[in-house]
Amino acid sequence: MKINNGFNSWNTPYLFQAMEDTMASFTEEQRARIISLGIGDPDIETPAPIRRRIMQEHREVYHGYPTAQGRLDLREAISKYYQNRFNVQVSAREVFVGSGAKTDLFDLNAVFSRPGDSVVILDPAYPVYRDAALYRGNKIVYISGTLANRYQPELPDETQLHDLALIYLCYPNNPTGADADADYIQSMIDLARKHKAMIVMDIAYADFVPGNTPSSAFSIFQFPGGDEVGIEVASFSKPFSMTGDRISWVTIKNPEAARFWHRYRANRDSGASNYDQVGALEALTSPEVKSIVHENFNTYGRRARILKDGLDTLGFQWTGLTNTPYAWFKVPGSDDIETARKILEEVGVILTPGSGFGPAGRGFLRATVFQPESRLEEAISRLKRFDFESA
């Protein structure tokens, strides 16, 4: 058997798969006791009108293959979304419906970079950017986010770049919850233009606003030069609890880049399921869904408060919980993987080790709001019993 060399550079299993495997190793009784604040998978169910619409479509309409680019009605709804949300003109032609942001983020690397090209990756970040680059054989250049630079790391040293192909950014940021300043994004766009590179802007959390606080999210197409170098990746997963449906979109305004992506998508897969696309259309257009999501965000806001208060009492410095479902916090010691393991073993709480998001995540843990209030309170009281100092 011959295996793609890219596999060899994945020296650890996929972060969330490793956590799932650990869970599977416990008995059912042990699992019932465990409180998972690990993977970002909403526990509040998909709004009923979305589910009804998907079921109705299944009952009444037979669909053969979807189109590679996605249904026109959904792409038109996404153009309207851009207009209303960001005051940006995007035509349906520039929108590509996908089967989940994770797949899109991985595949974009295959189209817009070559082995050996430099790929700049925000650190810490969603591990898929790194895994795609390793698989491709890119030269990864991490730019390290810290509390001090508010997770807007300095631009890379340009002497280290060898044919810069891609810059992966994510704001509001997973895992840190950080926002970006306009001049920071502009400097990234200028860098990409200078090197004829593209920016993959992951906006999976643009519409996830616990407590319905005013969101600081933006679209890369609001910035001068954004049309030329921007590739925006968005997801229905978190705001609409649609992680199980696998539905996302990619927006590309650069016509040449859009042509390449379209061609790749048509050759590579047959498009997102029509049924999920119909559900996504309902998500964007139904007033009833809008009010359910508003209510859900109020719930997430109350949960975020519990985590904030708990982390304050524990004396940890934390970020996030305003524009993302995550709390990101520094714990004593630097071996976050070992600390997370001990927390699970001793008090039965799953937290994601920061190192899984990149070298700059070392010494941090991430917690989600995706548990009911009583479970979050219980998780905090268990963490208070845990001896962080000697972990």
CB 389 within 8 A of CB 52: no
Is 40 or 230 the residue whose CB approaches ligand MLT more closely? 40
Binding track, positions 34-73, relative to ligand MLT; x by CB under 6 A: -----xx---------------------------------
Nearest approach, Cβ of residue 15 and ligand MLT (Å): 7
Nearest approach, Cβ of residue 373 and ligand MLT (Å): 20
CB 138 within 8 A of CB 116: yes
Nearest approach, Cβ of residue 370 and ligand MLT (Å): 9
Q: Judged by CB under 6 A, does residue 102 bind ligand MLT?
A: yes
Is 244 or 255 the residue whose CB approaches ligand MLT more closely? 244
Nearest approach, Cβ of residue 172 and ligand MLT (Å): 12
Q: Judged by CB under 6 A, does residue 174 bind ligand MLT?
A: yes
Q: Judged by CB under 6 A, does residue 106 bind ligand MLT?
A: no
Is 131 or 227 the residue whose CB approaches ligand MLT more closely? 131
Nearest approach, Cβ of residue 102 and ligand MLT (Å): 5
Q: How many residues bind ligand MLT (CB under 6 A)?
A: 6
Q: Judged by CB under 6 A, does residue 358 bind ligand MLT?
A: no
CA distance 200 to 231: 5
Is 57 or 232 the residue whose CB approaches ligand MLT more closely? 232
Task: Name the residue with tokens 């300095």.
Answer: 154
Closest to 322 in 3D by CA, of 217, 170, 182, 202: 217
Pick from 16, 106, 264, 388: which binds ligand MLT (CB under 6 A)? Answer: 16
Q: Judged by CB under 6 A, does residue 264 bind ligand MLT?
A: no
Nearest approach, Cβ of residue 14 and ligand MLT (Å): 7
Q: Tally the residues of the chain.
A: 391
Q: Judged by CB under 6 A, does residue 130 bind ligand MLT?
A: no
Is 43 or 73 the residue whose CB approaches ligand MLT more closely? 43
| Residue ranges binding ligand MLT (CB under 6 A) | 16, 39-40, 102, 126, 174
